[in-house]
A and B are shown apart, each in its own frame.
Chain A
Amino acid sequence: MAQGDGSKHALAWLSVDWATLLVALAIAALVRAGVIAGVPW
């Protein structure tokens, strides 16, 4: 699991984990707002 190395640069804390958390919450917000709707399966 890629973890950020805080000593290297300003955005290093943004590991895959944090990025996926933010992306998932952004998607949830877009679904809540109705921007993403009618997703087929």
Chain B
Amino acid sequence: MRPLALVPGVGLLLAIGYAGKLAEGSLKTYGKAHHVALPNVEYVLWAILIGLLVGNAFARSRFFSVFLPGINTYEFFLKVGIALLGARFLLGDVLKLGGLSLVLVVLEFAVAGSLMVVLGRAFKLGPKLTALLAVGSSICGVSAIIATQGAIDANDEDTSYAIGAILALGAIGLFLFPAIGHALQMGDHTFGLWVGLAIDNTAEVTAAGNMYSDEAGKWAVLAKTARNATIGFVVLGVALYFASRAGKQLEGSRAGFVWSKFPKFVLGFLIVSALASAHVFGPRQQSDLANLSRWAFLLTFAGVGLKTNFAELRRQGMRPLVVGAIGEVVIAGLTLVMVIVADKMFHL
């Protein structure tokens, strides 16, 4: 393929992604200027939404085919972005959290993952959409969904749905959690831990924790970081599961097939994360790598939006959102009970 053929599409990805970033910034600025607490709508969701509108409005017109080769590069940006994301997930962060909190993280992880799988089956969602929702709700919303999508090659509609569900519920949680915390007179540590366990996206966790107190914000971010640190292992597990499921229909070396299907860029994520954990990168270099991965995702999700088909979304109906909502409410309730019991028994 001629590199020049990619230029219009990549330019369109950049324009849509950047519009998403501007939309996120504008909403924040508006909220601050007017002293209104608006939910933090991440650039990822804006990029998908704008991409959806542009893609569905123009996909049938003849000139749109000029953009297609470039738009199809979004998978490349997705995988590079995931590998670079490793710089933000340090394995050592898990240890800072302390034993008891770590046990709660593992419990949340098991409960949230299993619950989403059960709900996904009950509502007859596809296995990949169920996996995305399970990973998103048990680890860390958007980053985990992004990484898993690449690993199991889920389709764009599933990813848009899973991200939309997790972010919409996170935005609601941002307001509800501090109100519940105050009503129950929860301590800073207990509340921070709850928020870090129950809300799925790092931005909303940080915001909800800090809305309560600085101390709660610190615990919230630590608990969340511990969940985030497991992302590589979970994506590895999910990728192996889907690769081996596909392998059942084949003859020959199963291990060889699993390896051939195994997403190699996940190794990139693990290598970059290990290098960052070993302090190979300075703090500025880490933030450079994190920013580069954000730019890659900006292009990726403009592409996901552009390739998502409204008709396909309508076919799926409201079930994924219902599953996400039921799951999140149950997880919030269970984790609340967990932190309150832990506080009563062990005085957090």
B84 to A27, Cβ gap below 8 A? Answer: yes
**Chain A 13-41 residues near chain B, CB threshold 8 A:** 15-21, 23-25, 27-28, 31-32, 36-41
Q: Check if A1 is an interface residue, CB within 8 A of chain B.
A: yes
Closest-by-CB residue of B relative to A15 is: B264
Cβ contact of B271, chosen from A15, A25, A27, A37, cutoff 8 A = A25
Interface of B is mostly: helix
Do residues A3 and B272 form an inter-chain contact, with CB atoms below 8 A?
Answer: no
Task: List residues of chain A with CB within 8 A of the CB of B80.
Answer: 20, 23-24, 27
Question: Contact at B292–A31, with CB atoms within 8 Å?
Answer: yes
In the assembled complex, the Cα of A3 lies from the Cα of B258 at a distance in Å of 12
Known: A1-B263, A28-B84, A31-B285. A21 touches B291 (CB 8 A): no
**In the complex, how many angstroms separate the beta carbon of B245 from the nearest chain A beta carbon?**
14
Interfacial chain A residues near B128, Cβ < 8 Å = none
Q: How far is the CB of B142 from chain A (nearest CB, A)?
A: 15
Interface contact B288-A31, CB-CB below 8 Å: yes
Nearest chain A residue, comparing its CB with the CB of B290? A41
- Name the contact of A31 in the complex, choosing from B76, B265, B281 (C-beta under 8 A): B281
Which A residues lie within 8 Å of B291 (CB)? 39-41
Q: Residues of A contacting B263 with CB < 8 Å?
A: 1, 17
- Docked-complex contact A20 and B84, CB < 8 angstroms: no
21 contacts between A and B (CB under 8 A): A1-B75, A3-B260, A16-B79, A17-B79, A20-B76, A20-B265, A21-B267, A25-B271, A27-B80, A28-B84, A28-B281, A31-B288, A32-B280, A32-B285, A36-B292, A37-B285, A38-B284, A38-B288, A39-B287, A39-B288, A40-B291
A-B pairs, top 6 by smallest CB distance, nearest first, are A24-B83, A20-B79, A17-B264, A39-B291, A41-B291, A21-B268
List residues of A whose CB falls within 8 A of some B CB. 1, 3, 15-21, 23-25, 27-28, 31-32, 36-41
